[in-house]
Amino acid sequence: MKFVDEAVIHVEAGSGGNGCLSFRREKFEPMGGPDGGNGGRGGGIILRADSAVNTLVDFRYTRRHRAQRGEGGRGGNCTGKSGEDLWLSVPIGTTIIDENTEEVLADLVEEGQEVVVAKGGLGGAGNAVFKSSTNRAPRKTTNGTEGEVRELRLELKVLADVGLLGLPNAGKSTFIRAVSAAKPKVADYPFTTLIPNLGVVALSRHQQFVIADIPGLIEGAAEGAGLGIRFLKHLARTRLLLHLVDVAPIDGSDPADSARAIINELEKFSSALAGQERWLVLNKIDLVAEEEREELRDRIVSELNWQGPVFMVSAISRQGSDTVCQEIMQYIEECALRSEEDSEFAEQEEKHRVALEEEARAKMRELAEQRALKKEQRKQSGQDSDDDDDDDEFDDVEVFYVE
């Protein structure tokens, strides 16, 4: 299955049926009164969150959706049949945005949650409606109203409590394999992760959280380099970010410089995302001598001026991973409890989430405009063709979700 996390669709609700002009003509009643029925209501278009759907790939290939039109009224005071509503299933975590006004219509984050994105038109009135004591033979009818027409942008953001950040080969996929049942691809070359992977970390029957691994970031990601910038928006719903740093990189680079590069890219992408609660996880400590580990940790923390929690782990051997998961579970439970007891804290969290999503959306729109401009420039210079589509560069990547 292809992983598609954005799609633009055109939806048209059904128009209402027209009212009928009719007079009753029966035996012994050649001059019966008006009996024109009303038109039926047009079908609406409804989007519903469905856990059986993991990607928006269907909307990439079927972009136009039209609901059924209402039938016209008939004689004998028969109202026309209403058009059937059109139900479209989308993944849980889908945000629906009006493409023209940028209005967020709904955020479907629960199973079965639904929203009417286009209302069907009302049925027209038949001439029987206009009968009165002074107008016993009305010839007036009305037509049904048009159904709503909208251009919608669907944005999928994975639902996770914790998000993993880091350079390619920092060990994010190995970490998520160590703490959950997810089995993303792991290899000794960069960009083995091409799409977000989800895993459920279960500490006990009643204690579990979801962790998300996104493709690694590289320097310049905020300007469109690499893959990670495309998926940073998936971290908008997380409560906590784990910043994984390789303490013994193969290329001999400084771990502190690697961590600083990611921090800079976060700040360029979204100030709200940069301000998200973030923990530092120093990975691959098994490659460092025991007597040197503390000194290395202190140096990295000092150079970064890091103020938050710091952990040292070896994801491949699961050393220290249980401690990290227990601390995460405790943090999530404390946040959830505080949100229930402190309405002001809950409001601040919601404002932060909204700001993060708006900044992420604005950044992605800016990058899309830049790509479109570059594509137009290449086309004018004869280096590009009309058949090229930058938006589909990841369409052939398989999606893999495990819980």
Q: Is residue 397 one of the residues assigned to a domain? A: no
Identity of the amino acid at 260: R
pTM of the model: 0.68
Residue 46's CATH number: 2.70.210.12
| 3 within a domain of the structure (yes/no) | yes
Q: Which of 123, 156, 189 is the last residue of a domain?
A: 156
The percentage of residues in the chain with a pLDDT greater than 90, rounded to a whole number, is: 33
Reference 84, options 38, 117, 120, 123; nearest CA is: 120
* Same domain, residue pair 115 and 10: yes
Residues of the chain with pLDDT below 50 are 1, 187, 189-191, 387-403
pLDDT at 23: 92
Residue type, 50: D
Instruction: Output DSSP code: residue 399.
Output: P
Enclosing H/E stretch for 369: helix 343-380
pLDDT in tens, 133-160: 889 889 999 999 999 999 999 988 777 8
* Within a domain: 97: yes
In the predicted model, what is the mean pLDDT of the chain?
82
**Distance in angstroms (rounded) separating the CA atoms of residues 263 and 333:** 26
Within-domain flag for 389 = no
Pair 367, 224 in one domain: yes
- Asked if 81 and 205 sit in the same domain, the reply is no
Nearest to 359 by CA among 218, 167, 222, 159: 222
Asked whether residue 150 falls in the same domain as residue 177, the answer is no
Domain count within the chain: 2
Cβ atoms < 10 Å from Cβ of 122: 20
pLDDT, residue 350, reads 82
Q: What is the pLDDT of residue 48?
A: 94
Domain that holds residue 122: 1-25+32-134+144-156
| Helices and strands (H, E) in the chain, number of each type | 8, 14
List, in order, residues 6 or more apart from 31 with CB less than 8 Å away: 23
Instruction: Give yes or no for a contact between 310 and 297, defined as CB atoms under 8 angstroms apart.
Output: yes
**In a shared domain, residues 118 and 169:** no
The answer to the question of residue 169 being in a domain is yes
| Strands lying side by side in the sheet with 94-98 | 64-66, 6-12, 149-156, 94-98, 104-108
Residues 320 and 206 in one domain: yes
Note the pLDDT tens digit of each residue in 369-400: 777 787 888 888 876 555 444 444 434 333 33
The CATH number of the domain holding residue 290 is 3.40.50.300
Tell me if 372 is assigned to some domain: yes
Same domain membership, residue 112 and residue 59: yes
